[in-house]
Structure 1
Amino acid sequence: MARIRTSGFEEQREAILAQAARLFAQRGYPATSMNQVAEACGLSKPTLYHYYKDKYALLVSIAEGHVAKLEGLVSDVAATGLPAEQRLRELIRRFVEEYAHAKDAHRVLTEDVRFLVEEDRERVLEKERRLVDGFAQVLGEMRPEMGTAGLGKPLTMLLFGMINWMFTWLRPDGALDHEAMAPIVADLFLGGVPAVRPPVTSLPDRP
Structure 2
Amino acid sequence: MSRPIAKDHDAKRIHILHVAARLFADQGYARASMSQVAKECGISKANIYHYYSSKDALLFDILDTYLSALRTRITSLDLDGLNPPEQLGRVIVETLQSYEGMDHEHKIQTEGIPLLPEDQQTILKSYQREMVVHMSDIVGRIAPEVFADDPRKLRATVMSIFGMLNWFYMWNSNAGHEARDEYAKLVTKLTLTGVHGL
Change (3 A) 1:140 1:2: farther
SS of 2:53's equivalent in the other structure is: coil
- Contact 1:25–1:104 (CA under 8 A) maintained in structure 2: yes
- Unaligned segments of structure 1, at least 5 residues: 196-207
Q: Which residue of 1 aligns with 2:32?
A: 32
Question: Could you say which residue in structure 2 is the equivalent of 1:149?
Answer: 150
Query: Residues 5 and 88 from structure 1, CA distance in 2 versus in 1: closer, same or farther, beyond 3 angstroms?
Result: farther
Compare 186-195 and 140-149 and name the one that shifted more: 186-195
CA contact (8 A) 1:73 1:91 kept: no
Count of aligned positions: 193
The runs of at least 4 aligned residues of structure 1 exceeding 4 Å deviation read 1-7
CA deviation after TM superposition for structure 1 residue 16, in Å: 0.4
* C-alpha RMSD over aligned residues: 2.4
Offset from partner CA, 1:105-149 (integer Å, 9 cap, x none): 000112322211222112211221111101000111211221432
Paired AA for residue 109 in structure 2: L
Structure 1 pair 119/87, CA: closer, same or farther in 2 (3 Å)? Answer: same
- 1:122 and 1:147 map into 2 onto residues whose CA distance is 28
Distance 1:105 1:147, change over 3 A: farther
In the TM superposition, what is the alpha-carbon distance from 1:194 to its structure 2 partner? 11
Partner of 2:14: 14
Listed one character per residue, the Cα deviations across residues 86-116 of structure 1 (whole Å, up to 9, x for unaligned) are 2211111111112222110000112322211
1:189 to 188, 191, 196: 191
1:204 paired residue number? none
- Relative to 1, partners in 2 of residues 1:172 and 1:85: Cα closer, same or farther, differing over 3 Å? same
CA distance in 1, matches of 2:99, 2:15: 18
In structure 2, the residue matched to 1:84 is: 84
CA 1:128/1:173 → structure 2, altered by over 3 Å: closer, same or farther? closer
What is residue 205 of structure 1 aligned with on the other side?
none
- Measured after TM superposition, the shift of residue 173 of structure 1 is 6.6
Cα distance in 1 for residues equivalent to 2:85 and 2:195: 11
Q: TM-score, normalised by structure 1?
A: 0.84
Q: In 2, Cα distance between the equivalents of 1:35 and 1:106?
A: 23
Contact 1:139 1:152 in 2 (8 A): yes
Q: Is contact 1:97–1:178 with CA below 8 Å preserved after alignment?
A: yes
Unaligned segments of structure 2, at least 5 residues? none
Q: d(CA) in 2 for partners of 1:190 and 1:44?
A: 52
User: Deviation of residue 55 (structure 1)?
Assistant: 0.8
> Which residue does 1:165 correspond to in 2?
167
Normalising by structure 2, what TM-score? 0.87
Matches within 5 A, 1:116-135: 116-135=116-135
Other structure's SS at 1:127 match: helix
1:84/1:139 contact within 8 Å kept: yes
Q: Is the Cα–Cα contact under 8 Å of residues 64 and 124 in structure 1 kept in the other structure?
A: yes
User: 1:182, 1:85 → 2: CA distance?
Assistant: 13
Report the Cα distance in structure 1 between the residues aligned to 2:7 and 2:137, rounded to whole angstroms.
37
